[in-house]
């Protein structure tokens, strides 16, 4: 059994119109929500063994804030392939894992994040910024993961529910 934690990046800023989408930082709400989602991981006993994140600034900053606030001490793996990615890119990144981590978190963007949850569980859930989903997967190795996998959506948390 593996656990996949799916996290959409926290709320980003649209203040600077000269910035490329890839470079957009978190706004005030995003800087507030990301650490709270890290603390939630601790309370739910879901601290990941590995974090893989889109390398876009808003996703990378979210991943770092979550990691710092849940006690994750290893390196975060950043991938440009997860920027504006579809579910297949997340599956490929997970399939490539050399170690069999029991719990992995991926940090990315919509619509790919919502599509990933739906493809793995058969359930569509809204994934606003900083939303977190827990999926249990009946697989022994990450290399066994496929889009047809019948994962179980255990829970979804939205930052506004934590207020």
Contact 62, 34 (CB under 8 A): yes
pTM for the predicted model, two decimal places? 0.96
Q: For the domain that residue 19 is a member of, what is the CATH number?
A: 3.40.50.1240
**Residue range(s) defining the domain that contains residue 99:** 2-162
Q: Which two tokens stand for residue 26?
A: 């978190």
pLDDT digits (tens, 9 = 90+) for 22-58: 999 999 999 999 999 999 999 999 999 999 999 999 9
Residue 79 has pLDDT above 80, yes or no: yes
| Average pLDDT for the chain | 95
Strand 77-79 versus strand 50-54 pairing type: parallel
Give the pLDDT of residue 149.
Answer: 66
Total tally of structural domains belonging to the chain: 1
pLDDT at 50: 98
Structure tokens, 72: 């994750």
Spatial CA neighbour of 33 closest among 74, 14, 5, 61: 61
Supply the DSSP string of the chain, one letter for each residue: -EEEEEEEPPPB----TTS-GGG--B-HHHHHHHHHHHHHHHHTT---SEEEEE-SHHHHHHHHHHHHHHT--SPPEEEGGGTT--HHHHHHHHHT-SS--SEEEEEE-TTHHHHHHHHHHS------TT-EEEEEE--SSGGG--TT---EEEEEE-GGGG-
Is residue 108 within 8 Å of 90, Cβ to Cβ?
yes
- Kindly report the number of other CB atoms within 10 A of residue 157's CB atom: 19
pLDDT of residue 150: 81
Q: Half-sphere exposure of residue 135, counting CA atoms within 13 Å on the CB side?
A: 28
When pLDDT is averaged across residues 121-133 and rounded to a whole number, the result is 97
Q: Would you state the torsion angle of the CA atoms of residues 49, 53, 57, 58, taken in this order, to the nearest 10 degrees?
A: -80
Here the tokens at position 161 are 């529910």
């Amino acid at each position: 059994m593996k656990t996949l934690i799916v996290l959409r990046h926290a709320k980003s800023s649209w203040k600077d119109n000269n910035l490329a989408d890839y470079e957009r930082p978190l706004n005030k709400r995003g800087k507030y929500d990301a650490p709270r989602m890290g603390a939630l991981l601790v309370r739910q006993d879901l601290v990941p063994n590995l974090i893989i994140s889109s390398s876009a600034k808003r996703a990378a900053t979210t991943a770092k804030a979550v990691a710092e606030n849940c006690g994750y001490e290893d390196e975060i793996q950043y991938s440009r392939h997860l920027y504006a990615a579809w579910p297949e890119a997340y599956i490929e990144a997970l399939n490539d894992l050399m170690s069999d981590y029991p719990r992995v978190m991926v940090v990315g963007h919509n619509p790919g994040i919502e599509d990933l949850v739906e493809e793995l569980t058969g359930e569509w859930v809204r994934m606003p910024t900083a939303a977190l989903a827990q999926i249990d997967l009946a697989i022994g190795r990450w290399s066994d993961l496929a889009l047809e996998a019948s994962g179980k959506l255990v829970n979804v948390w939205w930052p506004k529910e934590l207020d």
